[in-house]
Chain A
């Protein structure tokens, strides 16, 4: 009898080119995603050593991080010359190497972790990498997908391999059906609160359970996206019929006889029933309330029905100091009800929640309502394809009618690297993944939540329990 293995171990084993003398493995890389935030550095490093790109057919490139998301008629108003150069260089470098690239002007352009899946580029069982921590998103397809640094991007371009030490395996079991008014974002925020932002460090997480089975691909991507916020190297969901239905017919997915062959192999891709995980975590999703973050890391989350915690009630001095610092930065008071916190800005977008279903769920809430006076609300679709789909469904009309700004695709205010940022002291309800100090602009305050919750906040002008508006 072969030893039972986890899905992670199976993908790992199938990709080991060889075990290195130092104990690491040299892994073959099937899919590499490249974005404008790293391409310029990686191409420069390759050029300096006279190295070429080994398998240009296995890389897909997009411009997303520095691209402004205002109207794209006429010259693009980049934040500065460095930003313009980053886009020019991803275009030039990919052209030279023969890599497919969707830059500004291409209707398929968008956030790397939205574009990769919707093109059918990322497939089950692959090793998928990208110079971005949220590469964990692609684990939703049952791919072993993880973020790498810029030096490693150069390594992948030059060799189509990566050197790595195997991580431990962790299973997160989510029991469903999940409660009304909650989304994959609420699941992951609740999980964050439960295991903390270093709870997954050194591990690859596999999500299982009835609450996971019932998730759409978009929702699985939201869940896996924030695996990195747990500190995990990657997050995985075993592929199933939901996965296959999503992939079938996508432009870069296999077709014809190759599809049938792939499908047969993908159906075998799951952890063996007796596979042993190094760590097990369980969460009951049946009684969850919608969640928001109140602090400055994604683990500082709570149900919307709760209040800002009181540091004085925390015994551990280091934890107490951390919480006090977060509350101070966020301009909140201990004991303040979360549903009474007023906001200035709403950002619906990012690789966590900038997909078509996210926009649909926001429309459910804002339809025939108006954005509260004094609130600026943005929708930044995750890609040109998402934008086109939303417009075909008329979602943009609902957003505009409610007073939202309907924008072009990109990372935008998730990272504020393209110049789109909040002013100091401004507070936002955001569907992105990080609420670190300064993430959306210097001294700006970010509350993370689902698109439906962000939409509800836009309507009332404060953090709001979306269940009251449904």
Chain B
């Protein structure tokens, strides 16, 4: 995973609460391989009209937001499923940072595993960011993970919240599996103790 330090780009305002993963990545695309470019699936149902053409009323279809890399969203962004396709499609579309007053748990984790910054800001700050992003002249945002700051010409500098563990992970771009495999001796020791204290969890019967 690529480390994330800071990023500057166009922010798209999506002033809607409870945007769920089905909306971000409709299930009819769930069978697509990761190796394919998933950008076109992003918000597919709301981005297109019933005849299949792009709906100019949807924010991501209008310049400069068609090349947005920051998303300013309402509360409870990413609720619903664990599908990692949601952060994948956002990443393929170009998004590197998301700003919201609240992220759904599993979605947030999936973002962290894909190098996307889920930055939490108070509702009032999000409202200001939405306003700034809505004007193409002030839609450029910088998300600085080192400083935990969002910077923008219209709103100035705002602090965002991110758990220290999450921040470090993104800054370093660590491969979590490699890191854990380095702890194999501890894992094995724990497993041995568990075998002694709860042997039934390690002696599954039946099955084949």
Interface residues of A (CB under 8 A from B): 14, 17-18, 20, 22-24, 26, 28, 30-31, 37, 40-41, 44, 49, 51, 57-58, 60, 65-66, 79-80, 82-83, 86, 100, 119-121, 123, 125-126, 131-133, 146-152, 154-155, 158-161, 163, 165, 167, 197-198, 201-202, 231, 233, 250-255, 258-259, 261-262, 265, 297, 318, 322, 415-417, 421, 424, 434, 436-439, 442-443
Contact = CB atoms under 8 A, between A and B. Distances in A.
Contact of A438 (B26, B75, B203): B26
B187 interface: yes
A259 B180 contact: no
Contact of B204 (A57, A65, A80): A57
Contact of A197 (B76, B84, B169, B202): B76
B123 to A, nearest CB: 10
Contacts of B176: 151, 155, 163
Given A14-B198, A100-B207, A322-B16, 10 more contacts: A82-B32, A121-B204, A148-B106, A149-B110, A252-B204, A297-B18, A297-B20, A417-B27, A438-B26, A439-B22
A149 B31 contact: no
A162 to B, nearest CB: 9
A82 B76 contact: no
Interface residues of B, number: 62
A416 B81 CA distance: 14
Contacts of B50: 424, 443
Given A22-B168, A23-B164, A436-B22, A159 B205 contact: no
Contacts of B45: 437-438, 442
6 contacts: A14-B197, A26-B180, A28-B187, A198-B76, A233-B105, A424-B50
Contacts of B28: 416-417, 421, 442
Interface string B136-178: 0000000000000000000000000001110011000000110
Interface in B1-34: 16-18, 20, 22-23, 26-28, 30-34
B124 interface: no
B201 interface: yes
A156 B190 CA distance: 15
Nearest to B75: A198
Contact of B109 (A148, A258, A434): A148
A406 to B, nearest CB: 25
B147 to A, nearest CB: 18
A421 B22 CA distance: 15
Contact of B18 (A161, A322, A415): A322
Contacts of B199: 258, 261
Nearest to B127: A318
A17 B198 contact: no
Nearest to B101: A198
B82 interface: yes
The 3 A-B pairs with the shortest beta carbon distances in the complex, nearest first, are A251-B206, A22-B165, A82-B31
A220 to B, nearest CB: 21
Given A49-B177, A148-B106, A233-B105, A28 B194 contact: yes
A252 B31 contact: no
Nearest to A232: B105
Contacts of B83: 149
A119 B17 contact: no
A52 to B, nearest CB: 11
A231 B201 contact: no
A251 B205 CA distance: 7
Contacts of A49: 177
B113 interface: yes
A28 B186 CA distance: 11
Contact of B180 (A155, A250, A442, A443): A155
A296 B106 CA distance: 20
A160 B23 CA distance: 32
Interface string B78-122: 011111100100000000000000101110011001100000000
Nearest to B107: A149
B177 A322 contact: no
Contacts of B80: 133, 434, 436
Contacts of A417: 27-28, 30-31
B157 to A, nearest CB: 26
A133 B27 CA distance: 14
A37 B16 CA distance: 28
A165 to B, nearest CB: 6
A149 B109 contact: yes
Contacts of B207: 60, 100, 119, 251-252
B191 A28 contact: yes
B53 interface: no
B164 A125 contact: no
B82 A24 contact: no
A133 B34 contact: no
B105 A415 contact: no
A428 B97 CA distance: 37
Interface centre among B26, B27, B176, B206 (most CB of A within 10 A): B27
A151 B113 contact: yes
A152 B204 contact: no
A221 B32 CA distance: 31
Interface centre among A146, A150, A254, A255 (most CB of B within 10 A): A150
